[in-house]
Amino acid sequence: MSAGAEGAVLVLNAGSSSLKYQLLHPDTQQVVADGIAERIGDHGSSITHEQDGDVEKVSVELPDHHAAIERAMQFFTDHGTDLRSAGLRAVGHRVVHGGRTFFRPTLIDDEVIGEISRISSLAPLHNPANLIGITAARTLLPEVPSVAVFDTAFFHGLPDAAATYAIDRGVASMHAIRRYGFHGTSHEYVSEQVALFLDRPLDEVNQIVLHLGNGASASAIAGGRPMDTSMGMTPLEGLVMGTRSGDIDPGIVLHLHRVAKLEVDQIDTLLNKQSGLKGLCGENDFRTITEKVADGDQSARRAYDVYIHRLRRYIGAYMIELGRVDAITFTAGVGENAASVRADALAGLENYGIVVDAERNALRGKDARRISPDDADIAVLVVPTNEELAIARQSAEVVTRPR
Ligand code: AMP
């Protein structure tokens, strides 16, 4: 039996050539359906839809996001749900950059669209795609309110010292250059889950959250408030990622331009798409890298070592920034699945009260779990992230809030 869609929220995450969607009930967490359209606007586009236990994948021409949403709606209709008349509460959109303007989930109107578009210069790889998704959804589901949930929002309150780059203040202020932080929906959600897991009030917990997916970021959170995070003005700063370099000497960019004669767009592509794990060993999927490391592949070994080295550097920095740490939590694809990363990131830190129990760490599971001994000073946890649920809840709250 199909779960009803009345009161559900359709969550959309539009990338430049992909669209992920999930229809779920924010209160009960029940997922009605989810899916992903890939290679939108390219040859070989396809859409995969999962509902009522069926997984259907069709190869179909999807010239744009509008076509992708229309095809997704067709899947829903095939399962007896017409999204137009199903009584959806909201469409919740993941929007990557909120700039200095947006730091709360925001009901979308023409003015908001104009402002998100203006901010696009801060996130040229992301915000334009998010906007295309918003426009398509508003056209196809005009009766359903659309809400934007910003990836930067949670880090709006970063302390000034953590948010400020040491460059000329006039230039920084004119061009909105500061550290914004990303993956905020995930860091906020996971940090709340940590407090629930520890059965302690959020405002008493000091924690480090390591969101390790294809994109990766770390955060230091004191009593529910963000103190620092590894991504900066763009999602390029910080940890080594699947295809992004994370921290590099900014002088490298100048060198690549002056000496290697690369244009700005080529440098952009190099650092965002051809660097990180992929740049180091040709692979960005951690499963493959782990297998290659086990087979003695030297470049995979180096990629792995650089990844762990950077991760440990951030963990160390955040321990000092927080002063007292109650929990260190791994989340997202790598964090939830790669036991070796968790073990190596925290190896040899017993003097600091950090111990990873090998047996607990090896266990797999879908629920939040502790991988440190019960009596360790610092709880080491694995907590699955759920950005769709967080976006659905925040969207539902916006449309029910009295205005
Ligand atoms: P995300 O961006 O959170 O979806 O994470 C995606 C990444 O998680 C993939 O690129 C993989 O590198 C990694 N991943 C997923 N499953 C596993 C696994 N079982 N072991 C190691 N890494 C995994």
Structural domains in the chain plus CATH codes: 9-150 (3.30.420.40), 200-387 (3.30.420.40)
Residue 2, pLDDT score: 47
Residue 335 CB–ligand 1 contact under 6 Å = no
8 A C-beta contact, residue 246 and residue 276: yes
Burial of 299 (0-12, 13-18, 19+ CB in 10 A): middle
| CA pair distance 211, 183, nearest whole angstrom | 8
187, 285, 336: residue to mutate for ligand 1 pocket, most atoms within 8 A of CB: 285
122 CA → ligand 1 middle, Å: 27
The first and second tokens of residue 55, run together, are: 């997984």
186, 287, 342: residue to mutate for ligand 1 pocket, most atoms within 8 A of CB: 287
| CA pair distance 403, 116, nearest whole angstrom | 22
The first and second tokens of residue 255, run together, are: 């060198």
Nearest-atom index, ligand 1, CA of 332? 3
User: What is the gyration radius of the CA atoms in the chain, in angstroms?
Assistant: 21
Based on the residue annotation, tell me whether 151 is a catalytic residue of this protein.
yes
Q: Could you tell me whether strands 46-51 and 31-38 are parallel, antiparallel, or unpaired per DSSP bridges? A: antiparallel
Residue 334 CB–ligand 1 contact under 6 Å = yes
320 CA → ligand 1 middle, Å: 29
Residue 213 CB–ligand 1 contact under 6 Å = yes
Tens place of pLDDT for every residue, the chain, 403 residues?
346 899 999 999 998 889 999 999 999 999 999 999 999 998 999 999 999 899 999 999 999 999 999 999 999 999 999 999 999 999 999 999 999 999 999 999 999 999 999 999 888 888 999 999 999 999 999 999 999 999 999 999 999 999 999 999 999 999 999 999 999 999 999 999 999 999 999 999 999 999 999 999 999 999 999 999 999 999 999 999 999 999 999 999 999 999 999 999 999 999 999 999 999 999 999 999 999 999 999 999 999 999 999 999 999 999 999 999 999 999 999 999 999 999 999 999 999 999 999 999 999 999 999 999 999 999 999 999 999 999 999 999 999 876 6
In 3D space, the residue among 400, 401, 395 whose CA is nearest the CA of residue 147 turns out to be 395
In 3D space, the residue among 6, 22, 21, 67 whose CA is nearest the CA of residue 42 turns out to be 67
Catalytic site residue from 42, 151, 199, 249: 151
Q: Which residues pair with 22 in a beta bridge?
A: 11, 34
Residue 333 CB–ligand 1 contact under 6 Å = yes
8 A C-beta contact, residue 26 and residue 400: no
Binding-site residue ranges for substrate: 94
8 A C-beta contact, residue 244 and residue 257: no
Residue 287 CB–ligand 1 contact under 6 Å = yes
Nearest-atom index, ligand 1, CA of 242? 10
In 3D space, the residue among 363, 92, 318 whose CA is nearest the CA of residue 187 turns out to be 318
Work out the widest C-alpha separation in the chain, in whole angstroms.
63
